Structures are given as C-alpha cells and as structure tokens.
C-alpha cells in the first residue's frame, strides 16, 4: 500500500510508487508490445524510498510498521496512471505519492471535470 513503512534489517523504507513498464522493457525483451502486456497483467513492482538508511541482508524479515488508512494500493495507482479514470479520486487520497504523480492525476481529473461540465 502507498505510504506503508517497512523495517528491513536496520533500514526504514516507505512504499512510494509503482514501477511502470516503459519502451526500454520492450527493447530488452525483444518485443515492442511487451510493456502493454506487462501492464495488462496488473502486477506492477514498487519503488521504495529510504526513510532511514541502514543495513539490509539476505533473509532479513520485512516488518510492516505503519499502514495508512487511505487503502490505496500499488496496483490501483498503476491502473490510475495508465488511464483508469474511476480510480483517480481514490488514488489522490494517497498524499504520500510523489508530487508529479499527484499533479498529473489532479490535472487529468480537472480536465475531465471541465470537459464533462461544459
């Protein structure tokens, strides 16, 4: 979930955003439509921000220390960023998302509201 805080080893991490496929993944796989198929599978990875640096080792437990009440998952953010409009208001509740994603979704929601309200 966006904003979850995890203790792994002595490091404190926060779930920040989904890892979205790009054209480079298609190049690497030798298949230009691979990123689209990857997105359709709805199994994005996650980027984590380091809140407190420390040591992480093989076999370290992942302890969830905090789970925000907004309920916004990595998969929902991924689908919203890929254009699933119905998720935009829900995803905007995750204020821990990077500012560029929040701004992008707000702009898209505002533009859609303006067009539908015209």
Write the pLDDT tens digit of every residue in 63-107: 999 999 999 999 999 999 988 999 999 999 999 999 999 999 999
| Pairing relationship of beta strands 62-66 and 5-8 according to DSSP bridges | antiparallel
Helix count and strand count (H, E) for the chain: 5, 4
Domain that holds residue 31: 5-117
Verdict on whether the full-model pTM lies above 0.75: yes
Asked if 79 contacts 42 with a C-beta cutoff of 8 angstroms, the reply is yes
Number of domains observed in the structure of the chain: 1
34 or 63: which carries more pLDDT confidence? 63
- Tell me: pLDDT of 8 over 70: yes
**Burial group, residue 78, by CB count within 10 angstroms (0-12, 13-18, 19+):** buried
The answer to which of 29-33, 53-57, 75-79 has the lowest mean pLDDT is: 29-33
Domain at 50, CATH number: 2.40.33.20
CA quadruple 112, 114, 115, 117: dihedral positive or negative? positive
Average pLDDT on 58-62 reads 97
For residue 117, what pLDDT is reported? 65
CA dist 6 and 13 (Å) reads 5
């Amino acid at each position: 979930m966006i904003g979850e805080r995890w203790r792994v080893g002595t490091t404190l991490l926060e779930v920040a955003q989904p890892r979205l496929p790009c054209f480079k993944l298609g190049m690497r796989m030798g298949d230009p439509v691979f990123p689209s198929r990857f997105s359709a599978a709805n199994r994005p990875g996650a980027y984590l921000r380091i809140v407190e640096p420390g040591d992480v080792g093989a076999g370290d437990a992942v302890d969830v220390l905090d789970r925000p009440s907004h309920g916004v998952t990595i998969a929902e953010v991924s689908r919203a960023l890929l254009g699933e409009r119905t998720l935009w208001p829900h995803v905007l509740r995750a204020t821990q998302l990077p500012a560029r994603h929040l701004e992008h979704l707000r702009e898209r929601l505002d533009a859609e509201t303006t067009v539908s309200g015209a």
